Chain A
Amino acid sequence: MQSIISKGKNIKEAIDVGLLLLEAKKSEVNIEILQQETKSFFKLKSKEAIVKITKLEQNPNQEQPYKEEKDPIKLMDEFLHHIPDPGSESLVDLKPKPRPAPKSNELAGKVWVKNGELFCQSSPTHYPLVTIPDGVKVYRNEQLITEKSFVMTDIDFYEVQLETEEKETVWKVVMDPHKLRVELHIEPGYKITRSLLDTEPAQHIELMIDEKKETYNTLSYQEVMDKLEELRVKHGFHQNEIVKAMDAAEPGVFTIASGIEPIPGTDGWIEFQINTETQIGPRETENGRVDYREMKTIPNVESGTVIAIVHPPIPGQPGRTVTNEPLPAPQTIPISVQSGRGIAIIDNKIIAIESGRPHVEKRRSIAKVSIMQKLTHPGNVDLSSGNIHFAGDVEVLGEVSERMVIDAEGNIIVHQSVNMATLTASGAVLTHGSIIGSDVSAGKNNMIVTELGHLLGPINQDLAKIIQLIKQLMLSPGFKASDFSRGGLQPLMNILLEKRFKPFPALVKEYVETVKRNENYLSDKVWAETAKSLSQLFLSLSSEAISIGWMTELSEKLKELHELSQMPVEPNSYITVPNVLSSRLYCSGNVTILGQGSVNTKIYAGGKLTINGALRGGEVFGRFGAEINEAGAESRTPTIIAVPGDQKIYINKAMDGTSIKIGNVQYKFSETRSRVIAYLNKHGRISFE
């Protein structure tokens, strides 16, 4: 079928031209109006009429339809050059222009791109196919083609729309809250222009796009300087970074000014003049055996020896912001030294005024130094020697027999076994012989401090609430504070304790009683003092007038004590023994069983629990994890190993029936398992590594 597109000032003219070109009569063709003409006064926006005229098939024997077609189309082309092109500038107007070369047979049914324009030549047997890539829009007779590929004919109008992208330069200047750094964030502007790439004639082509990106970084030096002045930046400019940002072709962040960070100082510290390493204990020999005779002991000091020098804190150096303001260095904390027994502090020197073992206990920035006396008991501790209570270290060269008690403010060392006895030490407990049926406690003072700290937390919270409430009450318009001057806060306190703070006295009572019960272990008087104040305020109905200032002072003191109690003490106590049977071990620090192991014993370790041998029966707990060589009993006596939720349990061989507990989650081994490393996963279940 032969058809042409014809244009004219109006429909009639377009048809007449078309019929002339086709050498056909009106009755021999099919006419389709593609565009009506529109008239405009100045002819500027006027559009001509476009029609499509198809010659109806009359002569099927026609051999070379294309040959005949050539001339009319050539004429058409020429004709079209004479009429004004109405196409818009942004569109590449692609009229079906058949081949520039006359090799019609080669090009028949093919499509190509030349000089950025799309051409095709249909053939009776094949229509060319064009695939549209993403980001390209093709219009057929002003209708957007939505298909991915389309069949191209030379009787339709095709327009390919290629978008150009343009973006302006975007930038901002950001200063950090500490005014130590000014950053310039820049995204340079750009323009992307696209054009169609030439494609060789083919039956099927994909349109190919050429993309050109040009960067326009419009940032100016003056703009940056103006912004910096607006931010009052006066100090630490980096000119070269500003220049780099102005030259940037890609988005980026440039530090264009920076201040000087303050240099932190050093907190106060104690410099020891003697060896104070307190981790004494038996050592493992090269063949893996434990030699209990090889003990590392601390050298005693003679009276008059300078034990340590106290250094004041060294202040840090202040920094400077970009706005030229000084930045103070973090506050440094001096170390506070409390002199215990046998210690004098002269100027910045800590001096022993008695002979003995220097003992240092540190909690955060408070250090307590004292001289421990040592009592060496040459034989057994039994009915003939009596119990031992000593304010220092106790060393027993023999054994400790039934129902005897040793109580020491320092360490306890027993060279032979301990049978059905009670050992209590503020420091460490170390035995060379087995412990059978005994109660052993080390670092009890530390544990009491921890326990009191737990009680003080809620007490102080309530006390702070009570103070807050009284302050609020005194501001209330309906309240008269007139009786405070006469009766103090007592009448008000009675009302508060009646309901609002009903559980409070019970907490206070527990605290006061715990302090009283353990008075001997609490060397620091502040515990007893606060207990007295609390009991005066909340337990007794003393007539002494209590002021809000007094309560605030007490609250401050409690807060300090509470914080102090949560600080780890250095060095902590420990228990180190070869074997233990049917006993109870209680320690604020590490518990280590070096020999055959632990049988039916209850162990609490505030530090890490280590059992080199076997754990058979009993309940053991390690606050900082548990490491056990072999756990479980043939007799299936319950064996439970517990640690907090954030700790791990290591067992080289866990027999079936052994239970482990991590946090509140329990697990029981149903078969013997080797090399167990158990922990709580993020879903709160016990997992094995």
Chain B
Amino acid sequence: MIEFSMKEAEGGTIIVRLNGDLDIDSTEIVEETLLPALENYKAATLNFEEVPFVDSSGMGLLLNVVQSLKEKGVHVMISNVKEEVQFVFELLQIPEILGKDTFI
């Protein structure tokens, strides 16, 4: 289950701090609350510092969020990914799917 807090930064950028596991139980909150909340910004940065675990559904959600926001013109960045989670992302080539420059 995941929680998030948002903070606006300069230039229409919103910074989202995620807290908890990005997993199958996060589907509802991500799709129904987080995604609509980001649609009106120019850019969004997802901070993964407090995300210790991911599962395959959670990664599916992430791909879905980034791609649908891109379609709406929102530039998404992902930051501070923990080493263990980054290892999982790389096994599945998520940086290649989203573009390597998405990760900062």
Contact = CB atoms under 8 A, between A and B. Distances in A.
Contacts of A494: 60
Interface string A442-473: 00000000000000000000000000010011
B39 interface: no
B9 interface: no
A496 B85 CA distance: 16
A495 interface: yes
B35 interface: no
B88 A491 contact: no
Interface in A494-526: 494-496, 498-500
B37 interface: no
Nearest to A483: B24
B22 to A, nearest CB: 9
**Interface-centre pick from A472, A473, A478 (highest chain B CB count, 10 A):** A478
A499 B57 contact: no
A476 B87 contact: yes
A477 B91 contact: no
Interface in A477-497: 477-484, 486-487, 489, 491-492, 494-496
Interface string B56-84: 11111001000000000000000000111
Given A478-B53, A491-B57, A483 B92 contact: no
B33 interface: no
Contacts of A481: 55
B21 A496 contact: no
B60 A479 contact: no
A469 B87 CA distance: 12
A173 B93 CA distance: 55
B23 A499 contact: no
Contact of B21 (A480, A495, A498, A500): A480
Interface string A107-127: 000000000000000000000
Nearest to A482: B55
Contacts of B86: 478
B24 A472 contact: no
A485 to B, nearest CB: 10
Given A477-B84, A481-B55, A491-B57, A486 B24 contact: yes
B24 A482 contact: yes
Contact of A483 (B23, B63, B87, B88): B23
Given A480-B23, A482-B23, A495 B92 contact: yes
B23 A473 contact: no
A536 B53 CA distance: 29
Contacts of A477: 84
Given A494-B60, A495-B63, A480 B94 contact: no
A492 B57 CA distance: 7
Q: How large is the interface on A (under 10, 10 to 19, 20 to 34, 35 or more residues)?
A: 20 to 34
Contacts of A476: 84, 87-88, 91
A480 B54 contact: yes
Contacts, number: 71
Instruction: Assign chain B's interface to a size class.
Output: 20 to 34
Given A479-B54, A483-B56, A495-B59, A500 B88 contact: no
A498 B94 CA distance: 9
Contacts of B55: 479-483
A492 to B, nearest CB: 4
Contacts of A500: 92-93, 96
Nearest to A472: B91
A489 B55 CA distance: 11
Interface string B21-57: 1011000000000000000000000000000111111
Contacts of B53: 478-480
A486 B23 CA distance: 12
A483 B56 CA distance: 7
A482 B56 CA distance: 9
B72 to A, nearest CB: 20
A473 B91 CA distance: 7
Contact of B97 (A484, A491, A499): A499
Given A469-B91, A499-B96, A492 B56 contact: yes
Contact of B60 (A473, A478, A484, A491): A491
B97 A478 contact: no
A239 to B, nearest CB: 63
Nearest to A469: B91
Interface string A9-41: 000000000000000000000000000000000
A498 B92 CA distance: 9
Given A479-B53, A481-B55, A482-B55, A499 B93 contact: yes
A12 B54 CA distance: 106
Contacts of A469: 91
Contacts of B96: 499-500
A681 B85 CA distance: 55
Contacts of A479: 53-55, 88
Nearest to B53: A480
B52 A478 contact: yes
Contacts of B52: 478
Given A495-B60, A498-B63, A499-B96, A478 B24 contact: no
Contacts of A478: 52-54, 82-88
B82 to A, nearest CB: 7
A486 B21 CA distance: 17
A491 B93 contact: no
A681 B68 CA distance: 59
B55 to A, nearest CB: 4
B57 A498 contact: no
Nearest to A481: B55
Nearest to B83: A478
Contacts of B91: 469, 472-473, 476
Contacts of B87: 476, 478
B16 to A, nearest CB: 20
A484 B88 CA distance: 16
Contacts of A495: 56, 59-60, 63, 92, 94, 97
B56 to A, nearest CB: 4
A465 to B, nearest CB: 12
Interface string A273-288: 0000000000000000
Contact of A487 (B24, B83, B93): B24
Contacts of B84: 476-478
A469 B92 CA distance: 9
Contacts of B92: 473, 492, 495-496, 499-500
16 contacts: A469-B91, A473-B92, A476-B91, A477-B84, A478-B85, A480-B55, A482-B23, A482-B55, A483-B57, A487-B57, A491-B59, A491-B60, A492-B56, A495-B59, A496-B92, A500-B92
Given A483-B55, A495-B56, 14 more contacts: A472-B91, A476-B88, A478-B52, A478-B53, A478-B54, A479-B55, A479-B88, A480-B53, A481-B55, A489-B56, A495-B60, A495-B92, A496-B92, A500-B92
What are the 4 closest A-B residue pairs judged by CB atoms, nearest first?
Answer: A478-B84, A492-B56, A483-B24, A480-B55
